[in-house]
Every structure is written in C-alpha cells, then in structure tokens.
Chains A and B, each alone.
Chain A
C-alpha cells in the first residue's frame, strides 16, 4: 500500500453529492440547437471549417486547431449550420464570442470513422495526433489541450502518470458516476495514456467519499498491471493538480513550475475516457458527463450531454424550477462562476450545472473589515498568507503581492470560505493577478516604445549632425575657393571699388554700348544696308499704317494705284534679291522665284481692277 501524504490547509465544506448519484447516467438527448464556441480550451481559438448552410455529420470537424496549443471542434450530431455568430459563452465575464450554431436534423448520422485495432502497435506520435485531431482537452477545468500536455520533451523524462479522480468540489459527481458505470473505459484510456508516456507507475487518486467508485475501479484495474487505485481522506481542495501530486507522492511542484519537472503528468478521469473513445473507436470528443444539481432541480442527476447543448435544455430535463433559482452556476460552489443566461452552451470543461435555491446558497454577506484572525492562512492549501495578500491587493502593491507568491494561489476559495468577515478574498486575488499581468505587459510595451523613441532621437541627431557636417564642408569649400581666387588676383581685394565707382563704371559701360550701337547703325546706313531686324520692320509697318490713317481718304482708283506702286517696288526688290541669290547660289532661289510670280499675279490683278474701275 502506497503511503499517502497530507496537504497543508484545506476545508470541509458540505459535500452535497448524494443528491445526484441516486440515478444512473442518462442521455440528455439531442437539443433543438447546438452552439459551439470556437474557444473551449486554453490556447488559440479554433478556425471554422464550415459555412452557414452547410450540412454536417456527427463527429465532423467543424473548426480546426490553430497552431500547436489549440484544439479542433466537432459537431455532436448531424444537422445544418444555421449561423456563425457571436453568442454568450460560458465565461465569468458573460461576454459574447464567435460560435458555430448547428440545428440538428434528428438523424444523428455519424461521419465515417474507425479506431485503431491495437493501440500498442502505434507510436506515441501517431496516438498524439489522433488525440489532437479528436479535440481532446483537459476535462477537469482548465481545458488544456491534452495532446500538448502528453507531448513530453526528452529533457524531462516522465516516470509517473496520475489520474485525477478526486472530484473534491461539493455537488459535483460526474467523475464518481463515470467510475461507477464506466470503470473499464477509464482503465482502457489510462493504459493508452501510459503507453504514450511510456511510464511504469500509474496512480489513480480518488477521495475516500466515493467507495462505490473506488470498488468499481479496483475491479476493472485488477487485470492491468501497474495501475494503482489510491484512496485518501476527503478534503477540499485535494483535487488541485499540485495538491494531488503532493498527496500521492509527497513532492511539491516548484513555484511557477510544471508537474513534468518532477517527472509527473496529471490527467483528469474524464480525459482518459475521451482518449479511449478517440483511439479505440475513432470518435472525437463530442459529449461528456455533466452533473445537473441544486435544490431547485426536482431530479438532480448526471447526464451524458452533447457538447454545445444549451444549459436551459439540461435544466429542463432535470425539472428545474426557475422561480426557485436565483443564480445559475457553472462548475461547483467553490470555484464555479455565475452564468448570466441559461442559453450558454456546455463546453469541454463543463462538469457541473448548479441551480441552487436562495436558502441553499445564499448571496454573499456584506464584506466586513479584516480582523487579522489568520484562519485563512490555516486554510490555504498553498501555504500562502491570504490576509497579507488581501492587504496588498487593496493597496495595489503589485511588487509585494508577487513577493508574497500571489501567483501560486490556485484560487480554490478555501480562504474566502473560512473568512469570518465574509471577505471575497479570491476575487481580490483574481483581479490583482490580472492587474499584475497587465502591468507586466504594459512595462514590456513601454520598454519597447522607449527603445523606439531613443533610436528615433538618435536618428534625428545623426541626421542633424550630417546636415551640419555638409554645411560645414560647403562653407569650407567656399572659403577655399575664395582664397584661391584671392591669390590669383591679389589686387582685387585692395581695389575694392566703392558703390559709386561701380555705378559710374556701369553707366560708362552702357553709354559706350549705346554709342557703339549708334555708330554701327550709322555705318549700316552709310553702306545702304537697311537694318533688317524684326523691330525695324515692325516700326516701319506701324509708321506706314499711321501714315495711311493720317492721309486723307483716297479714292478707290488712287488706292489701287498706290497698291500697284508698292507691289511693283516689291517685285523689283524681290527681283534684285533673286539676282543676288542666283549669283551667290543660295537655296532660297526657288522661294524667291515663286514669290516674284505671286507678286506679278497680284500686279496683274490690280491692273485689271484699275481698268474695271476706269470703265465704270
């Protein structure tokens, strides 16, 4: 017989388990609607594989795992996808999250599936991929993807497998009923997990308040070597992973460490059944056992429930009277959370729906001042100092909280349970943990922005320095040039002309230029060459027009005669130019010839007009 250790602290709340073990596990049937949150586990949310309107079969994967620490989601019955939308999910925040909604068609048709004939011939890697694809996630509470938990690393060899059948929380009996009715399935699943891990020592730990379950398990495990079923005294919270390891092995999981550091892997009882179904039958995780209990239920019992079933369907089955029930709790009275709506679907981690009456589970009494009685410290299973943590939590002294190992708190609620001042201690710790995580995240972020800010400052300074350097270089170059010029004309700086000199020189220069121009035009006139610049031509044309305007109105005949004279002069001029061009052999000859012809035609026309006028 294996020695059983004790854990520090712990409490003995009323068990209230007897109500729900009187009836065998019943099927909850197929509800009107199934709702599948994409995130039912710890890790990345799954990604939908179906679209609205798709037909799905029982066991079909409707959302695939996203990354390593994630799990797929499967349809629990055949039907049609009616929506992929935000719905209220099982979360203490009561927030909405993306869900796949399926309307069952009632045919319950399975997708083609088959299990392994002999799991011992499969390698651990193959078995792990089967478990991963079946969407198995820890069914005890946290919902950590089982395939990830079972993937051992070579540097941390595992020697012991612990199956957690403690179920220490009041009211919950789903694991107890599983042991009573399906012990052989538990043993089979345990063997598969042991094969994957390659461990020699397998312990199934059960509290001694479940004698039927223990007996049933012992008889099922009789023929399988290496499986020990250990019972130990009932105490809350023996079912915590770290607490159970301490009870069964006497070893403490180091603060911030994992059980694998001790060579131990811990799995929930329900998970072993899911593994057995996945490997031996090829069935994914689509249903689980859920305890529906509380005094407002006429028939508290355990049901085999399709995942995705709304809580309201289960409550109806158990004959719950909503008028008696003030708040609906998912999970147990110690660690569960209140649901905002009964339409919340059950997920892989749901083990209990508690619908207590007001008398049974009265609302928390008002919080009073801490009287430093220290009972909470005696109750704490992690040997923390709850009253001190409470003090620091109210003062928001995060460093002190961390120094007092707040993160080793398992949030079991034993301290709140014993507190004579009704202080909701766990709520303070939860809020503080979130604040500290947030604080760390903010700090990380601020470090990053500081680095970015500093590198930006540096860059700007560098740019500025470069600009300065370039400016300096240009200035120096200019000075060097000036110096060079200075050496070539040494008198220049000496004979720095004053402003008046400069102006005078400029005036002289312009006068000289004017004189030169006048002389040139004079010479041109002397040589008989008209300056044929465009300006001159314009001037002449304007003068001519002005003269024409100034001249008294001529008769048409006179006008024509004038025209004739000008045309004739132009002919003679052009003729001269033509002669000149011909003698020099310029290529304007043809142009000049054509213009002469045109002018002669014009002259003839004018002559004809004059004759006409003369006739009339």
Chain B
C-alpha cells in the first residue's frame, strides 16, 4: 500500500482528495435533507417584530407578506403603525442601518381603537368582514361592537361602513399609561458660552 502511494504520489493525492470530497459531499447532502428547515425562519422572525395590525399600509396584504418581502430585500421603513421602534428592531435583526419611516405609506400615529356608534349601526356586517383580527362582534341586522382589547387600530373597518358610524378613538394617556418623557435635547447655545454670545 505504502509502496503504491510512494510510486504514484500524484494519483494517490488525487484519489485521496476525490475520496474526501465524496465523503463530505454525501454528508452535507444527507444533512441538507435530514435537517431541512421548514418555511423561512428569517421571515418568521421579521413577522414577529411587525406590529400585526394587518392594516396593509405597507402595500402588502398583511404583515406576513410584508415580512416575506423584507426577507427578499424590501425596505424596512414601510410600517407606520410600528414606527421607529419597529424599524430599529428590524435594523438590529437584519444588521442594516435604521432609516426614517417612509412617509409615503403614512405617518406614525398614537394607538387608536375603533369605536362603533351603536345607535347608528344598521347591522350590515361589512365591518366584520373587513376586520382582519375578528375584533368586531355582531350579526346581520343586529348592532355590532368592537372588542376594544383586540382591536389593532388598523382603520380597515372605517371605509366599508355605509353609514359612517365608526370612529377611530386615540388612546388617551391615563395615570397608568403615563410615562416620563426622555429629556429634551439641549441647544448648543445653552452649553457653550461663546456660542451663546454669538447667538445674542
């Protein structure tokens, strides 16, 4: 054996490399089949960050399609309900630079909840069909109402209402939801004496 290798070192080396290549190739091939991941894990992670309002403001029919689009290279700044926080999270996850929200798709608004003026509701069920999260309760020719805790504030029920009886009510700050504000940025003039003199 040793003599044979010594005799044909070039051939031996090629054989050895081919053998190793085949062994590792088959190992990788087996692993690719055996440990195949179902679905798209990065899209799942992106979807978990998106606010799940299913509002479609990004131009995709729901959060999941947008998550898949981001995984395929779509811009991360098209989600107004998520706003800056979502963009930052996405930027961290995908290791890209955070960018400002694309105003074309809407602006970041405080959370709102749909409210049906119940006296005016005619029971047409159009809003129920529009609600992506089943947060509207009601039946044909019976008054509908919004389950406020489940409403994502996506606005989708407002447009189909034929009698315009749905309001989007902005969540008000209560003692429980009040928070300390971040300190305001201090202008340079207040800090540097020469700047202050120049400003004066």
Contact = CB atoms under 8 A, between A and B. Distances in A.
Chain A CB count within 10 A is highest, among B48, B53, B179, for: B179
B133 A396 contact: no
Given A431-B180, A452-B133, A366 B150 contact: no
A424 B152 CA distance: 35
A93 B88 contact: no
A512 interface: no
B178 A393 contact: no
Interface string A387-404: 000000110111100000
Interface stretch (B1-9, B11-19, B31-39, B183-191): B183-191
Interface string A403-431: 00000000000000000000010011011
A53 interface: no
Contacts of A97: 175
B186 A449 contact: no
A483 interface: no
A437 to B, nearest CB: 8
A492 interface: no
A452 B135 CA distance: 9
Interface string B88-113: 10001000000000000000000000
A453 interface: yes
B134 interface: yes
Interface in A442-456: 442, 445-450, 452-453, 455-456
Nearest to A426: B180
Contact of B179 (A39, A89, A399, A435): A435
Interface string B150-188: 101000000000000000000001110011111100100
A515 interface: no
A427 B180 contact: yes
A432 B62 CA distance: 30
Given A366-B186, A456-B133, A449 B179 contact: no
Interface in A33-91: 39, 89, 91
A434 B173 CA distance: 13
B51 interface: yes
B123 interface: no
A450 B174 CA distance: 27
The B interface is mostly helix, strand or loop, or mixed, namely: loop
Contacts of A439: 85
A452 B152 CA distance: 11
A368 interface: yes
Nearest to A98: B175
B186 A427 contact: no
A129 interface: no
Given A366-B186, A428-B182, A449 B54 contact: yes
Contacts of B62: 453
A430 B180 CA distance: 6
A555 B190 CA distance: 125
User: Contact residue range for chain B?
Assistant: 20 to 34
Given A95-B178, A366-B191, A456-B134, A449 B183 contact: no
A93 B178 CA distance: 7
A453 B48 CA distance: 13
B175 A95 contact: yes
A366 B190 CA distance: 6
A343 B20 CA distance: 85
Interface string B44-70: 000110111110000000110000000
A367 B52 CA distance: 38
Contacts of B48: 447
Interface in B123-152: 132-135, 150, 152
Given A95-B178, A366-B186, A431-B179, A399 B92 contact: yes
Nearest to B174: A95
B165 to A, nearest CB: 23
A91 B190 CA distance: 29
A462 to B, nearest CB: 14
A302 to B, nearest CB: 29
Most-contacted residue by chain A among B53, B63, B186 (CB, 10 A): B186
B177 to A, nearest CB: 8
Interface of B: 47-48, 50-54, 62-63, 84-85, 88, 92, 132-135, 150, 152, 173-175, 178-183, 186, 190-191
6 contacts: A397-B88, A431-B183, A435-B85, A446-B53, A449-B54, A453-B133
Those 7 A-B pairs whose CB atoms lie nearest each other, nearest first: A434-B179, A430-B180, A446-B52, A366-B190, A452-B133, A450-B52, A93-B178
Given A396-B84, A452-B133, A456-B134, 18 more contacts: A91-B175, A93-B175, A95-B178, A366-B186, A367-B183, A367-B191, A368-B186, A397-B88, A427-B183, A428-B182, A434-B179, A434-B180, A445-B152, A447-B52, A449-B133, A449-B152, A452-B134, A453-B132
